[in-house]
Amino acid sequence: MPDVLAALNATLGIDVQTLAARGLTPFAEADTLVVAERNASGREFELTPAAAGAWLAMRDAAAADGVTLQLVSAYRSVARQHEIVAAKLARGQSLDAILQVSAAPGFSEHHTGRAVDIGTPDSPALEEAFEQTPAFAWLQANAGRFGFVLSFPRDNACGYLYEPWHWCYQQVTA
């Protein structure tokens, strides 16, 4: 798999050794997914079964506390990640700028089927302003109980910009 990822990333001008120097490691793509949620427009969001169960429990607990959590993004394939980065390059964005906000194909937590981008009504999706919402405050206080962690806090070691909306389910072990 590493050779395949290296070749795939090379088509985008990405050197996987550069990613390794940032402390990034590739993630295996999920092999079992379930529909965790459908939004009002019918878009399906897939996660691994364990992550889906944890997401639903967390969403319902937040709702019981008067907080609305909505999925903005969940599972995304390596191929789809390649398309996203390629489209940004085609629009003239620099690779350095892209790799501060988008993972290289094979290096995104979304491939695992455990990562979610979370939004809430009345807040723009995928923007830092999310940190000012009651939803973010609720997540900070409660997400850990459901196995979710904030992946990219301010000044994270991975070199990504701060993403208060991006949370990843970590398998809870007894």
- Which domains, from first to last, does the chain contain? 1-30+76-112 (no CATH), 32-74+113-174 (3.30.1380.10)
Task: Give the separation between CA 74 and CA 77, rounded to whole angstroms.
Answer: 10
Query: What are the tens digits of pLDDT across the range 148-163?
Result: 999 999 999 888 999 9
Q: Does position 98 have pLDDT exceeding 90, yes or no? A: yes
> What's the confidence (pLDDT) of residue 20?
87
**What's this model's pTM, rounded to 2 decimal places?**
0.93
> What's the confidence (pLDDT) of residue 16?
85
100, two tokens: 């501060």
141, two tokens: 């206080």
Amino acid at 113: G
Query: What are the tens digits of pLDDT across the range 63-74?
Result: 999 999 999 999
72 and 117 in contact (C-beta within 8 Å)?
yes
- C-alpha distances (whole Å) from 61 to each of 73, 86, 142, 147 are 20, 38, 9, 13
Q: Does position 131 have pLDDT exceeding 50, yes or no? A: yes
